[in-house]
Homo-oligomer: A and B are copies of this chain.
């Protein structure tokens, strides 16, 4: 359900955050769903419980999760948030896309080769009958 890589240059807790956000974004984790306890997920991933706890906390601070000591952690964000995107979100997201596209351009991708990748990503999150 979730994996991390010790060899990755990305910090472990950031990998967990990204993985959980991915599961939430695609609807695998929906509002009210319980997450595994920090100790269990840490054991499954072979890492320290603090690292998982930190990821949970960051997502809690972001308003996606809710943790109660002794009870557990659940998802509280629906996939489409009630109030829609804010200006801050847009800026951050545009920066993320720009970095990825710059990377693609320098790596030698053509527009024709990158567009199908983008379409597949969009289809993955915002379901639409496949174009093929």
Q: Is A1 an interface residue (CB 8 A)?
A: no
Interface range, A side? 35 or more
Partner of A85, one of B97, B101, B113: B113
Is the Cβ of A97 less than 8 Å from the Cβ of B117? yes
Is the Cβ of B125 less than 8 Å from the Cβ of A108? no
Query: How many whole Å from A124's CB to the nearest CB in chain B?
Result: 8
Partner of A94, one of B24, B113, B117: B117
Binary per-residue interface labels of chain A (56-88) against chain B in the complex, 1 for a CB within 8 Å, 0 otherwise? 000000001000000000000101111111100
Binary per-residue interface labels of chain A (82-119) against chain B in the complex, 1 for a CB within 8 Å, 0 otherwise? 11111001101110111111111111111101110110
Instruction: Tell me the dominant secondary structure on chain A's binding face.
Output: helix
Q: Which residues of B contact A108 (CB under 8 A)?
A: 80-85, 89
**Complex Cα spacing A81 to B103, Å:** 12
Given A22-B102, A103-B21, A125-B101: A93 and B79 interface contact (C-beta under 8 Å): no
**Complex Cα spacing A97 to B22, Å:** 12
A→B interface (CB under 8 Å)? 18, 21-22, 24-26, 64, 77, 79-86, 89-90, 92-94, 96-111, 113-115, 117-118, 121-122, 124-126, 128
